[in-house]
Structure 1
């Protein structure tokens, strides 16, 4: 079942986050992930939004998402994400 990684990201160091972004897609593709959404200004349709970046990734299943997140390649580039931003990241399986 398709699994989704959803992140809400507050970027506070553009240089560090830029290094992370530069290495992100090759690592995501290496582990079979797909980038569905990457938007720093999503349209608010209801409620309050704090202006953070919205990211949505898709993987074939939750196991693949966990493998990607724990991989040495991702952990290496994630050092710059952690240095350059604060994020809330969740994993959820899709429906059906």
Structure 2
């Protein structure tokens, strides 16, 4: 099942460390089948405050996403970003191609029991 690394980052000022981080990122992703899905795009905020931007990376599965984040190659460049940008990063598994939210709602209703 496809998995995603999603970062909500709030860049302050561009500097040499950030540029090196961006230049080096792809080489840390390649061994784990990771690829950028969203990077460097302005977000269109529809609800609530949302400072910053989103980076979204796809992986073949959650194991590869975890292995990428924990890899020596990524951990070596991580401070280039974290020393200069506030943000949060999460890993999340996607849903199957046949996912239907109605089935999830039905299961949640059943688990909640009678009202």
TM over 0.5: yes
**CA RMSD, aligned part only?**
1.4
Give the corresponding residue for 1:9: 9
Residues 58/19 of structure 1: CA separation in 2 closer, same or farther (3 Å cut): same
Q: CA deviation at 1:34?
A: 1.0
- Quote the Cα distance in structure 2 between the aligned partners of 1:28 and 1:21: 12
Unaligned runs of 5+ in 1: none
Question: How many residue pairs get matched?
Answer: 95
User: Gapped runs of 5+ residues in structure 2?
Assistant: 97-115
Structure 1 or 2: larger strand share?
A: 1
Larger radius of gyration: 2
Q: With a CA cutoff of 8 Å and minimum separation of 6, indicate the structure with the bigger relative contact order.
A: 1
Please list every run of at least 4 consecutive aligned residues from structure 1 whose deviation after the TM superposition is greater than 6 angstroms.
none
Question: TM-score by structure 1 length?
Answer: 0.89
